[in-house]
Amino acid sequence: MFDRVREDIRTAKAKDPAAKSTLEILCCYPGLHAIWLHRIAHAFWAAGFVLLGRILSHLSRFLTGVEIHPGADIGRRFFIDHGMGVVVGETAEIGDDVMLYHGVTLGGDSLEDEKRHPTLEDNTTVGAGATLLGPITVGAGASVGAGSVVLDSVPKNCTVVGNPAKLVGTCAEDDSVTFGKSVDR
């Protein structure tokens, strides 16, 4: 557990140039606090104590301004910069080394009990205020611009921006997938 906390602190220092000290990160980073509380809530959820997981996630939202459903599956070195207004839905999957900025929504597009939230693969970045909806995949190394609305899967190592999101530039090392088509994983 303490190794993960140290890893999280190193991640905050690496991803936020405003981070000046370990004590500051421990005391003043609500995105990090939300991740720590999510890990506990997720453990309760996975063990079948769903109400306890939901109550803890609700408390976390009250304390941090970050709403992460306890069913969401989150990898290592996940970092939320500024945090306020971030929403991560129940069936969202987040890989390792992912970064979200404030106001990001990983939302669902169905009322059915199925995979209905986005998957963010390793090393993705999602800009402030972006909204990603549905069981789409944002490929490894991809970036989503601030304020973008993403309704289709994004190939790895690509950047999308706008509303609706459109591919910009070229994708490094992957021209086999077209933006707007499902990414099979």
pLDDT at 181: 47
Tell me the pLDDT tens digit for each residue of 75-103. 999 999 998 999 999 999 999 999 999 99
Counting Cα atoms < 13 Å in the Cβ hemisphere of 119 gives 15
Q: Which residues touch 24 (CB under 8 Å, ≥6 apart)?
A: none
The percentage of residues in the chain with a pLDDT greater than 70, rounded to a whole number, is 93
Where are the alpha helices (H) located in the chain, listed in sequence order?
2-15, 22-28, 30-46, 50-64
pLDDT at 68: 98
pLDDT at 40: 97
Assess whether pLDDT exceeds 80 at residue 147.
Answer: yes
Q: Which residues touch 42 (CB under 8 Å, ≥6 apart)?
A: 53, 70, 71, 72, 73, 74
Counting Cα atoms < 13 Å in the Cβ hemisphere of 152 gives 17
Direct distance between the N- and C-terminal alpha carbons of the chain, in angstroms, rounded to an integer: 31
pLDDT at 182: 42
Tell me the whole-structure pTM to 2 decimals: 0.89
**CA dist., res. 124 & res. 141, Å (int):** 5
Q: What is the mean pLDDT of residues 43-66?
A: 97
pLDDT at 2: 85
> Of 162, 167, 163, which is closest to residue 142 (Cα–Cα)?
167
Measured N-to-C along each axis, helices 2-15 and 30-46 cross at an angle, to the nearest 10 degrees, of: 140
Strand partners, 81: 101
